[in-house]
């Protein structure tokens, strides 16, 4: 059974640009969550999608957004990038949201 | 918001030694998860705990869900070099379909061969 797949693995952007990250969950999983990981703040919850609807949201500014498609694949977008947005962005999938969450390898974003 | 205190922050041990790390919370959880993360990779789920008092093993790993639902510990027995990495605890309170995980800051484990 394939795991959670995130693309791209690495990317470099400059301030003011925008970025879109993609996540394909484990087959059959309907919940996709996104987390930001930085050395200073650790793992922080961004948002969760279930059946194409944002079900939960963390404390991030509106520049961070996401969506989920009918096949459960999800994308997250960050607009007007800031230096502080440099981080590892992790996607996690689960069957319905509760219990075991399985993470992808992450997308490493560097903002210059 | 919910806070998880994970300790110790780092450990440096000799191969073959046992390791123990724990997490405490200011709030209750109804699920505790333990993850291991290698550099540049995503966290890998090690053990999931669903019931207060539950003790679960996965090979050389043993984890327990505290009776108060506010704490959990992870033990690694007979450590080996490949145990090196960062271990995270995560708590989940799935009330009202809010399934977000709250993570500890991690325990960096170094194993000296």
All residues at 6 or more sequence positions from A103 whose CB lies less than 8 Å from its CB, including other chains: A4, A35, A90, A91, A92, B35, B42, B43, B44, B45
Interface residue of B3, B42, B101 to substitute, partner A, most A CBs within 10 Å: B42
SS3 for A84?
Answer: helix
Å between B30 CA and nearest CA of chain A: 9
pLDDT of amino acid A75: 98
Name chain B contacts of A50, Cβ cutoff 8 Å: 97
Taking residues B8-15, report their average pLDDT: 96
Band of the pLDDT at A81, cuts 50, 70, 90? very high
Q: Exposed (0-12), middle (13-18) or buried (19+): which is B44, by Cβ within 10 Å?
A: middle
Q: Cα A101 to chain center, whole Å? A: 13
**Cβ atoms within 10 Å, residue A51:** 11
B37, B20 contact by CB (below 8 A): no
β pairing state of B85-92 and B107-112: antiparallel
Å between B97 CA and nearest CA of chain A: 8
Q: Percentage of chain B with pLDDT > 90?
A: 84
pLDDT of amino acid B2: 60
Tell me if B94 and A97 make a contact (CB, 8 A cut-off). Answer: yes
Å between A80 CA and nearest CA of chain B: 25
- Residue B82 backbone phi and psi in degrees, to 5: -75, -5
pLDDT tens for each residue of B59-110:
999 999 999 999 999 999 999 999 999 999 999 987 777 778 899 999 999 9
Q: Where are the beta strands (DSSP E) in A70-106?
A: 74-78, 87-94, 102-103
pLDDT tens for each residue of A21-45:
999 999 999 999 999 999 888 899 9
User: Locate tokens 């959990």: which residue?
Assistant: B72
pLDDT of amino acid A98: 78
Task: Pick A31's closest partner by Cβ from B99, B102, B106.
Answer: B99
Measure the CA–CA gap between A35 and A21, rounded to whole angstroms.
12
């Amino acid at each position: 059974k394939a795991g959670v797949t995130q693309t791209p693995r690495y990317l470099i952007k400059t301030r003011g640009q925008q970025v879109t990250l993609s996540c394909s969950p484990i087959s059959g999983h309907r919940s996709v969550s996104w987390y930001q990981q930085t050395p200073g703040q650790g793992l922080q919850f961004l948002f969760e999608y279930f059946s194409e609807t944002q079900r939960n949201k963390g404390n991030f500014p509106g520049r961070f957004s996401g969506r989920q498609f009918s096949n459960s694949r999800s994308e997250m977008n960050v607009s007007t990038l800031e230096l502080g947005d440099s981080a590892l962005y992790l996607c996690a999938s689960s069957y319905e949201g509760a219990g075991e969450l399985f993470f992808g390898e992450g997308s490493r974003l560097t903002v210059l | 918001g919910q806070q998880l205190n994970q300790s110790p922050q780092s450990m440096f041990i000799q191969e073959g030694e046992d390791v123990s790390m724990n997490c405490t919370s200011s709030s209750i959880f109804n699920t505790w998860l333990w993850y291991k993360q290698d550099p540049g990779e995503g966290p890998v789920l090690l053990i999931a705990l669903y019931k207060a008092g539950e003790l679960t093993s996965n090979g050389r790993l043993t984890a327990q869900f505290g009776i108060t639902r506010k704490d959990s510990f992870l033990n690694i027995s007979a450590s080996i070099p490949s145990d090196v990495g960062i271990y995270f605890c995560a708590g989940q309170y799935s009330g009202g379909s809010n399934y977000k995980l709250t993570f500890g800051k991690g325990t960096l484990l170094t194993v000296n061969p």
